[in-house]
Amino acid sequence: MNEEVTHLFKSLSHPIRVDILDILKKGPIATGELSGHFEVSRYAIMKHLKILEDTHLIVVRRQGRTRLNYLNIIPLQEVYNRWVSQYESKLSTSLTNLKTKLEYGGTELMKLEISSFQIEQQIEINAPLTRVFHSLVNDINDWWEFRFEEDNSKITFDPKVGGLFMENWGNGQGALWGTVLYYKKNEEIRLQGLLGMQGAVTSHYGYRLESNGDATKVKLSHSAVGLLDPKWEESHTNGWALLLNKLKMHSENNE
């Protein structure tokens, strides 16, 4: 862990790489377009991107011949958890106050415009793939941070197509977090669910798992389109980083 942190800070030591992350904070951008922001060669930008990718500060996804670069805040979240989070309340790192969002007034919703966001994150977990998948599916109640009701709630996941990912309060009460659209054991899960958003919104998210030696790489994708509150992208970006770190800790600490 100390070696990873050292490499992380080294990757942040160059002003161009810091500028690149600031640009990506506004949204994913193609490598060619990104090069136009700097008075250096495309080759130099590619070298900087490679360093950021090696330290997992960016995630690269390809659309045809286009290389899209996404900001991946998980390494920064890990540093935050190590030195800062213990001094702040749980609510300060929450995805959002979900109850407040559900009570969002109709008048405010009418002011929203159609927009979209795409979140891409990945994390490497020092545990075998089968254990990580088990944590993701069977032990989700142990690490899923966010609840509509803090008391007497249990997070459950039914691992099959059409299965429900939900929060149960007992007596037939609860909240639906997602419905499984695609399920392939130890490989990939895709779901549809609002995750604290509401109104005219379509939201899909999923996990892909890949073995990396004795470790496992988990790739998270979340897309949403509709009448989105401008704050939802940032809150969900931070929320996913927190959740993936919770999954990492649970998988690494449970045999």
- DSSP string of 197-215, one letter each residue: --SSEEEEEEEEEEEETTE
CATH of 87-253, one of 1.10.10.10, 3.40.462.10, 3.20.20.70, 3.30.530.20: 3.30.530.20
Is the pLDDT score of 97 beyond 70?
Answer: no
Q: Residue 111 has what pLDDT?
A: 62
Looking at 55-64, 94-103, 123-132, 214-223, which range is the least confident one? 94-103
Q: Which two tokens stand for residue 247?
A: 């999954």
pLDDT band at 85 (very low <50, low <70, confident <90, very high): low
Domain topology for 2-71? Arc Repressor Mutant, subunit A (1.10.10)
Domain boundaries, the chain: 2-71, 87-253
- Tell me how far apart the alpha carbons of residues 124 and 212 are, in angstroms, rounded to a whole number: 8
pLDDT band at 87 (very low <50, low <70, confident <90, very high): very low
pLDDT band at 89 (very low <50, low <70, confident <90, very high): very low
Q: Residue 19 has what pLDDT?
A: 94
> What is the separation of C-alpha 10 from the centre of its chain, rounded to a whole number of angstroms?
24
Residue 128 φ/ψ, nearest 5 degrees: -60, 155
- Strand ranges inside the chain, DSSP E: 29-30, 58-63, 66-71, 114-125, 154-157, 164-170, 173-184, 188-192, 201-212, 215-227
Is the pLDDT score of 92 beyond 50?
Answer: no
What is the mean predicted confidence (pLDDT) over 70-91?
70
CB-CB contact of 131 with 146 (8 Å) = no
Contact partners, residue 83, CB within 8 Å, separation at least 6? none
Q: Could you tell me the end-to-end alpha-carbon distance of the chain, in angstroms, rounded to an integer? A: 20
Among 208, 27, 199, smallest CA distance to 108 is for: 199
CA triple 39-44-48, angle to 5 deg: 110
Question: Which residues pair with residue 166 across a beta bridge?
Answer: 156, 176
CB-CB contact of 165 with 157 (8 Å) = yes
- Tell me how far apart the alpha carbons of residues 191 and 185 are, in angstroms, rounded to a whole number: 14
Structure-model confidence comparison of residues 211 and 254, the more confident one? 211
- Tell me how far apart the alpha carbons of residues 203 and 170 are, in angstroms, rounded to a whole number: 26
Q: Residue 180 has what pLDDT?
A: 96
pTM, rounded to two decimals: 0.74
Contact partners, residue 243, CB within 8 Å, separation at least 6? 95, 143, 144, 145, 146
DSSP code at position 138: T
Q: Residue 62 has what pLDDT?
A: 87
Is the pLDDT score of 100 beyond 60?
Answer: no
Among 197, 246, 202, 255, smallest CA distance to 220 is for: 246
What is the mean predicted confidence (pLDDT) over 20-33?
92
Residue 24 φ/ψ, nearest 5 degrees: -70, -20
Among 14, 29, 32, smallest CA distance to 60 is for: 29
